[in-house]
Amino acid sequence: FTGWKEDAACSWNPLAGLVEQNFCEPDWNVMIQTTLQNETGEEHFVEPGWRGPHGCVKKYCLYSNPGFSNGKGMVAITTEAHLSTLKDLPSQPQYLDVLSLSHVDDVPGKGLGVIADRELKRGDAVMPRPPAFLAHRRFLEDLASSQEQQDLLEKAVTYLPRETKGLFLGQMAHFGGHLINDIFITNGFQVDLGGPDGHHYGNYPEVSRFNHDCRPNLAYYIDSNFVHRTTAVRKIVPGEELTVAYLDPLQPRIARQQRAHSAWGFVCECQQCSLPGALVDKSDGRLWRIRVLEKRMENLKADVTMGDVRELLELYRNERLDAKLAGVLTLAAMNANLLGRADDAREYALRAVEAGLIEKGDGVDVKSMRALAENPKAHFTWRGRLKASK
């Protein structure tokens, strides 16, 4: 893109002090223009900003922002009220300058997948991406298969910049029927734009290439700007496939396999699902024990010991649930504190912060664990179980 030259503006500024505007922090929404190519390959400039409606079905209208995210572009089929949320998003976010860490390749039995090019360690950000297409859930579900819905979906794709359109249409569509609807169902993420009817399907074409594993090496969440963030949860070597969990990894194998089949049309043969029979039974037994212990530790009146807390964490470790540690570490921290074990509580809370940043981002859960780690004795859980048992 072309735009404000930071150095030229910031090195010496004769107006500094005379006007309130800080020239080192230009209004990127206004100043940056984005280079896009039209269908014939000619370059032209597009300023970020939402346009439309380009068409509506009932209260759901099509809007486009071709300059969004350095010309990757975004389209949305949503209500007018939700458009105002999208207008508040930073149009040139900072996440696109991460180095390329992976490439897409054939993975036997799974179609395409994402392969690591570099060694990654726990906590490394892998692929932060904004959505290319947001569609209101009610528009997709209630109007399913209607001609007017299909026409608006097809129109929406024509408003994506060329490269993003190619990525969007290149995604796997598994269930048949209308192609764009199918792409959404096969590859959609839940995105909440807020308010009582904020549920949308979000499509992130590059993220869509991650295949499923019940014990994935990446965790993901969608942040408050609707950016999909994937982070490594353990050491990954070059050549290893990068995977996420599409479903609840705490379910027993049969339930996981049924869900993968009914919702995404494949039989899961990940390492955990392919264990020999006796080991599957052991794994399912551990998952059941996790359920029992968690139920007990969530009940303030139940009899809980530090042995239970350690056993629970050990079960997670043996089950290789590295992408799902934030919740259990929070439970461990609170229970240690409920039992008046400040040092253990602090240690688990710090680990819960680390896992929370990977799995959920810097939100209320992380803040609450930071507070517990800082001062266990000031936390509302301090010695709670001991008081209750007196």
Report residue 152: phi and psi, to 5°. Answer: -70, -35
Contacts for 81 with CB less than 8 Å, ≥ 6 apart: 195
Give the one residue of 112, 157, 179, 342 binding ligand SAM; rule: CB under 6 A: 112
Annotate 83-97 with DSSP letters as a single string: HHHHHTS-SS-GGGG
Q: 100-129 burial, b for 16+ CB within 10 Å, e for fewer?
A: ebbeeeeeeebeebbbbeeebebebebbbb
- Residue 270 in contact with ligand SAM, rule: CB under 6 A: yes
Sign, CA torsion 320/238/115/232? positive
Nearest approach in angstroms of CB 192 to ligand SAM is: 20
Window of 104-112, 189-197, 280-288, 305-313 that interacts with ligand SAM by CB under 6 A: 104-112
Give the one residue of 71, 113, 249, 356 binding ligand SAM; rule: CB under 6 A: 113
How many residues touch ligand SAM under the rule CB under 6 A: the total is 19
CA distances from 290 to 60, 260, 311, 312 (A): 44, 22, 9, 6
Which 171-200 positions form the footprint of ligand SAM (CB under 6 A)?
171-172, 174, 186-187
Hunting for tokens 């597009």 — which residue is that? 46
Window of 129-137, 169-177, 302-310, 382-390 that interacts with ligand SAM by CB under 6 A: 169-177
Nearest approach in angstroms of CB 272 to ligand SAM is: 11
Window of 17-25, 48-56, 88-96, 258-266 that interacts with ligand SAM by CB under 6 A: 258-266
Interatomic CA distance for residues 345 and 331, integer angstroms: 10
Give the one residue of 50, 184, 264, 348 binding ligand SAM; rule: CB under 6 A: 264
Sign, CA torsion 255/258/264/269? positive
- Closer by beta carbon to ligand SAM, 205 or else 376: 205
- Which residues partner with 115 through β-bridges? 103, 241
Per-residue string for binding with ligand SAM, 205-244, x by CB under 6 A? ---xx-xx--------------------------------
Interatomic CA distance for residues 66 and 48, integer angstroms: 7
- Residue 268 in contact with ligand SAM, rule: CB under 6 A: yes
Give the one residue of 110, 137, 199, 234 binding ligand SAM; rule: CB under 6 A: 110
Interatomic CA distance for residues 207 and 192, integer angstroms: 18
- Closer by beta carbon to ligand SAM, 233 or else 270: 270
- Which residues partner with 203 through β-bridges? 133
Secondary element (H or E) of residue 329? helix 326-338
- Closer by beta carbon to ligand SAM, 211 or else 337: 211
Nearest approach in angstroms of CB 275 to ligand SAM is: 15
Interatomic CA distance for residues 109 and 54, integer angstroms: 40
- Residue 258 in contact with ligand SAM, rule: CB under 6 A: no
- Residue 265 in contact with ligand SAM, rule: CB under 6 A: yes
- Residue 111 in contact with ligand SAM, rule: CB under 6 A: yes
Nearest approach in angstroms of CB 13 to ligand SAM is: 48
Contacts for 4 with CB less than 8 Å, ≥ 6 apart: 26, 28, 31, 32
Nearest approach in angstroms of CB 270 to ligand SAM is: 5
Task: By CB under 6 A, name the binding residues for ligand SAM.
Answer: 109-113, 171-172, 174, 186-187, 208-209, 211-212, 264-266, 268, 270
